[in-house]
């Protein structure tokens, strides 16, 4: 079992790289807009050459293709550079390595914030009045104010780190620097979920080619009856389906090429529940990208994303695995069974993964290491992760306990307050504290303090 303690960022320098998966999705999306613009501008497709419709298509199509062509090149360059760090966090400050701006010292930062707009998200550094800024930083501040940023913005849309984890990591470094320099503690960071997020899942296929549009739609509508994409978009085989019904914005993108995934990627390496993941995924030939906008209700959006993804899996017998966000990769059959087995609730077992390890700090009664575990995925659903230390028993029971706890906090009509004592099915009551993680520096979690009765015999 992988030990989560190996991932504790305890170095003086923390480098954060871009997410290849998200950049690949944006690259394909921009390419589809380029193709759409060229299609719109081509005169042979217009019913009346020289007409107003012809002029409108020409005047709109080529500018659209040109703009998104530049976007395609910019994202392509980012994808080429994805192996290099994008943001560097140190005890002294934070540096955006992509913009070549100088390091911003923590002692000059008053507080942290978050700014988001469709397609972009920024970590905001609100500067102290006495901070000395370079001319480039002053220009950046002025430009940011024009779009609503109240500080220096660091682009965070495509980083290989979750929003809450990035804020908590920076807040920890900021608090330490303020304490070192005798500065009053900063205001609490803005950790509210973004109003509109794009959620992603990937269905990895072991064969080229895709099911027909009718087969895909039938499988999805068996799980999401109101799924109503524009069925006139594109010939068979499909390349894109777009659903904007009922206030939803979701897409299916069919890509007849392997997605960028390596055996040493974290989601593959840490998939202890699927030891053959690396070998199985090496045979991939194509993939389907599923996206869903949250529109403020992230739990409902994740439920819909899971159901649509299960429909894609059901209509493609060659499906190998499913990747949900940057969280985890699951065998396709297991994912579909979990979603179809939970028609009226979130399929917690495939939206929330577990990161177990041995815990020598809290040994068992016989002196051997006990077990520790942390969830991964609750943050995406607007909650803190759950952490347990000192489990004196088998991992199977620990896994059941963790998933039951995750289900409890997701389904509870009331928020879990600091110090609440709760009980999940099959386990005695335990106290839950809002605390700083002992496994990942600066991360706030639900720390479950096990009572003697809660520990397995």
Q: What is the pLDDT of residues 381-434, one digit of tens each?
A: 878 899 999 888 888 888 888 988 998 888 888 888 888 888 777 677 788 998
Cα separation, 110 vs 188, in Å, equals 10
Contact at 8 Å (CB) between 406 and 387?
A: no
Mean pLDDT value across residues 18-22 = 69
Cα separation, 51 vs 453, in Å, equals 80
Other CB atoms within 10 Å distance of the CB of residue 87: 22
Mean pLDDT value across residues 308-324 = 94
**What's the confidence (pLDDT) of residue 339?**
93
- Examine the pLDDT at 134 and tell me if it is beyond 60: yes
Could you tell me where the DSSP H helices lie in 352-419? 395-411
Q: Which comes out higher in pLDDT, residue 339 or 74? A: 339
Among 29-33, 108-112, 182-186, name the most confident range.
108-112
Contact at 8 Å (CB) between 22 and 259?
A: no
The first and second tokens of residue 281, run together, are 């995924």
The separation between CA 124 and the C-alpha centre of its own chain, rounded to angstroms, equals 19
What do you get for the CA distance between the two ends of the chain, in Å?
A: 22
201: helix, coil or strand? strand
Cα separation, 76 vs 25, in Å, equals 11
Contact at 8 Å (CB) between 261 and 176?
A: no
- Domain boundaries of the chain, sorted by first residue: 20-80, 87-180, 195-345, 353-449
| Element containing residue 286 per DSSP (H, E) | strand 286-293
Topology at the third CATH level for domain 195-345: Cell Division Protein Zipa; Chain: A, (3.30.1400)
90: helix, coil or strand? strand
DSSP 126: E
Phi/psi zone of residue 145: left (φ > 0), alpha (ψ -120 to 50 degrees), beta? alpha
**What's the confidence (pLDDT) of residue 191?**
46
């Amino acid at each position: 079992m992988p030990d989560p303690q190996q991932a504790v960022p305890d170095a003086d320098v923390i480098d954060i790289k871009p997410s290849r998966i998200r950049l690949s999705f944006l690259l394909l999306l921009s390419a589809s807009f380029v193709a759409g613009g060229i299609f719109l501008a081509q005169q042979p497709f217009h019913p009346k050459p020289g007409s107003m419709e012809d002029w409108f298509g020409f005047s709109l199509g080529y500018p659209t293709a040109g703009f998104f062509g530049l976007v395609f090149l910019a994202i392509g360059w980012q994808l080429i550079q994805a192996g290099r760090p994008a943001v560097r966090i140190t005890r002294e400050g934070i540096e955006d390595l992509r913009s070549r701006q100088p390091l911003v010292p923590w002692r000059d930062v008053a507080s942290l914030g978050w700014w988001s707009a469709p397609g972009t998200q920024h970590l905001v550094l609100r500067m102290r009045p006495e901070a000395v800024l370079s001319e480039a930083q002053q220009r950046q501040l002025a430009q940011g104010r024009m779009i609503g940023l109240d500080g220096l913005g660091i682009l965070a849309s495509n980083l290989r780190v979750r929003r809450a984890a990035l804020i908590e990591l920076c807040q920890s470094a900021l608090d330490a620097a303020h304490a070192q320099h005798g500065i009053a503690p900063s205001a609490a960071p803005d950790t509210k979920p973004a109003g509109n997020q794009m959620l992603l899942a990937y269905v990895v296929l072991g064969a080229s080619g895709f099911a027909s549009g009718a087969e895909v739609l039938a499988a999805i509508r068996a799980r999401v009856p109101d799924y109503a994409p524009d069925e006139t978009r594109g010939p068979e085989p499909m390349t894109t389906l777009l659903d904007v019904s009922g206030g939803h914005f979701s897409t299916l993108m069919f890509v007849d090429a392997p997605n960028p995934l390596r055996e040493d990627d974290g989601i593959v390496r840490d998939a202890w529940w699927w030891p053959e993941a690396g070998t199985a995924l090496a045979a991939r030939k194509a993939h389907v990208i599923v996206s869903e906008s949250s529109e403020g209700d992230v739990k409902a959006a994740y439920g819909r994303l899971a159901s649509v993804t299960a429909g894609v899996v059901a209509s493609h017998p060659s499906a190998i695995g499913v990747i949900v966000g940057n969280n985890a990769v699951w065998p396709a059959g297991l994912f579909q069974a979990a979603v179809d087995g939970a028609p009226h609730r979130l399929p917690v077992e495939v939206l929330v993964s577990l990161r177990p390890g041995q815990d020598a700090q809290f040994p068992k009664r016989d002196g051997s290491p006990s077990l520790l575990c942390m969830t991964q995925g609750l943050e995406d659903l607007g909650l803190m992760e759950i952490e347990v230390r000192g489990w004196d028993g088998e991992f199977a029971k620990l896994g059941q306990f963790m998933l039951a706890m995750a289900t409890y906090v997701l389904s509870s009509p009331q928020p879990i307050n600091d110090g609440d004592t709760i009980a999940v099915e099959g386990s005695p009551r335990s106290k839950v504290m809002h605390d700083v993680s002992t496994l990942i520096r600066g991360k706030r979690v639900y720390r479950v303090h096990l009572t003697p009765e809660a520990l397995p015999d």
